Chains A and B, each alone.
Chain A
Amino acid sequence: MHMPLGRIPGKSSKYSWPNLKSQGAFLLMLLPGLIFYFIYLYLPIGAAILVSIKDYGVKSGIFKSPIASPWYKHFSFFIKSPYFWPLLRNTMLISMSKMLLGIPLAVMLAILLNECRVNKLKRAVQTLTYMPHFLSWVVIYGMCFILFSETNGLINDWLRTLTGSTVPFLTNPAAFRNLVIGSDIWKSTGWSAIIYLAAISGIDPQLYEAAYIDGASRAKTIWHITLPSIANVIVLTLILRCGTILNAGFDQIYVMYNEGVYSTVDIIDTWVFRTGFENFNLSLSSAVGLFKSFVSFLMIVTVNQISRHWGESLW
């Protein structure tokens, strides 16, 4: 979906008069956003970098607080924690699984909806799958308890009747990680499918008609028309998700986890929350935030490099 002949007419006139007029218009369009970016997104980043290398004191504020000695004190506090490697592993594993399962499932849902010829069914399923996005995790955990509890959960009730034994979904570390990933996919797939649906709806219907005339089956058109047409969006969302690879879902895990499953679902953000809770440690959380950004940056550059092979790149 990139433009093979995009620049041929305009190329020679990049700095000619009509083009300058266009550039002026572009800058005017960008201006409000650029100002917003600078004030509300960049200034706080600068402040966060300063805070992370200082011993932040509330009254002295960002500028007057003393530089920590050594300046990387808060970074090393995090990296030296016996939990550092387990945290990194858990965070990566949960986040990757959510991404690698979540994106294909959302694409599949979008395609299925597009293939559906019963309009009422299509609309109903679309609305239904989108609704879980609006439930808060507290409520979802309540429902998980009703389904998966070992003592009075529905599923273990059946298991007890059928096999006589029960499965500790909520206290077994491995089972619980699957529950975390599964419930997130349940909650977000319908929502993330919207973007792919929008992309599919931008495909020229004549492409399909031409394919049918050539005798292609409908299943084949998915492979040869739908998927290639939305490939750029899929790759784009994949790259953008890699930029937040160390956000494994604090809201969810904080509500759901317990001491028995720390070994698999304790993530960087929950650790920061617990550590910062007693001593409100702004410098530590800024340092960890920067560490996460650094990893994200590496990820996004790598993935972007790889994705250039498919002709999609962020820059």
Chain B
Amino acid sequence: MVKHSKNRIYNFTVNTILILIGLVCFFPMLYVVSVSLTPYEEYLRQGGIVLFPRKITFEAYVQFWKEPYIMECFRNTVFITVFGTMSNILVTVLMAYALSRKNLIFGKFFTFYCLTPLLITGGLVPTYLIVRNTGLLNSLSALIIPSLVSPYILLITRSFFSSIDSSLYESARIDGAGEFRILFAIILPVSLPIIATIGLMYGVAHWNQYFASLMYISDSAKRTLQVVLREMLNRASSMESDVVVPTRTLQMAGVVVSAVPIILVYPFLQKHFTQGIMLGAIKG
């Protein structure tokens, strides 16, 4: 009985804290959506504080949809996110698996090799030169291949693989399975949480990437959504007399349009973060 009520207090505390945290994030997001739906004049009249739109207009969205090449940019972003993430996961998982095995020869050297680029990066122009000399300029593959593996994500994946119970490997080895077979038939099925995590990280990075597109793509129709958004947000500080400065409502509409698709991906991946049971079941 005592334990039961204790548990209830515990649950109550956890839930209350979570609700508070949720609200701290919820109100600003609600604010962004509400402002994007409010007529700009109404927004000003409220002194910028609009939590629930009293009048609704889709004017800002219509306006954002008129930005040059917006449809193409949207398509490009989806394309590089889908194909980029798929190749990212494939190459990263292969590397991380090999690096995580303790009997890999020159293991220390390979780890160091993969770690160093985390500390030093070549910077803008040298990287541009390489991208150019590998013939990728002005093609969407320039947004996929030069970011094929992120050292940070690789090391995290490696760490996950090496924390998997080694008896799994050994039993497979005794069955005579090759390394590829062990990876794909045994390790991957119990690694769904980490695959979902790195998939999300890579996917979001692709979706949000902006600089590579600006640097390597010269054709306006091959750019990505974030370039359009940044260009629009920066226009506010333009000094040219012609420029129509985007209003706060237009800015918010741009943010909503460019964030909602990737936010919607999350709930689909979410279930993998709560499926630890699988790993345990196999171990047992």
Contacts and interface: CB of A to CB of B under 8 A. Distances in A.
Say if the two chains contact directly (CB < 8 Å): yes
Interface of A: 1-3, 5-7, 9-10, 14, 18-19, 21-23, 25-27, 29-30, 32-34, 36-37, 39-48, 51, 62, 109, 112-113, 115-118, 121-136, 138-139, 142-143, 146, 152, 154, 186, 190, 194-195, 197-206, 217-219, 232-233, 236-237, 240, 243-244, 282, 285-286, 289-290, 293, 296-297, 300, 314-315
Nearest to B174: A9
Contact of A315 (B115, B162, B163): B115
30 contacts: A3-B102, A18-B173, A22-B103, A22-B179, A26-B98, A32-B91, A32-B95, A32-B148, A33-B92, A33-B148, A39-B134, A40-B146, A44-B122, A45-B121, A48-B123, A112-B18, A115-B14, A124-B22, A128-B22, A130-B263, A135-B32, A135-B255, A138-B233, A142-B248, A194-B273, A198-B160, A202-B163, A202-B194, A203-B280, A315-B115
Contact of B103 (A10, A51, A143, A297): A10
Contact of A217 (B6, B19, B236): B6
A139 B149 contact: no
A171 B120 CA distance: 34
A62 B129 contact: yes
Contact of A37 (B14, B48, B113): B113
A252 B274 CA distance: 33
B57 interface: no
Interface stretch (B58-66, B72-80, B151-159, B216-224): B151-159
A45 B204 CA distance: 26
Given A22-B179, A127-B266, A293 B120 contact: yes
Contacts of A9: 170, 173
Contact of B123 (A42, A112, A202, A289): A289
Contacts of B103: 7, 10, 14, 19, 22
B129 A47 contact: yes
Specify the main secondary structure of chain B where it touches its partner: helix
Q: Nearest 4 pairs between A and B by C-beta? A: A44-B122, A47-B126, A25-B179, A201-B276
Contacts, number: 293
Given A23-B104, A36-B149, A131-B25, 18 more contacts: A6-B102, A22-B178, A33-B148, A44-B129, A46-B126, A47-B130, A51-B126, A118-B15, A123-B270, A127-B270, A135-B28, A152-B47, A198-B196, A202-B279, A217-B6, A244-B118, A289-B120, A314-B155
Contacts of A128: 22, 25-26, 29
B37 interface: no
A136 B17 contact: no
Contacts of A217: 6, 10
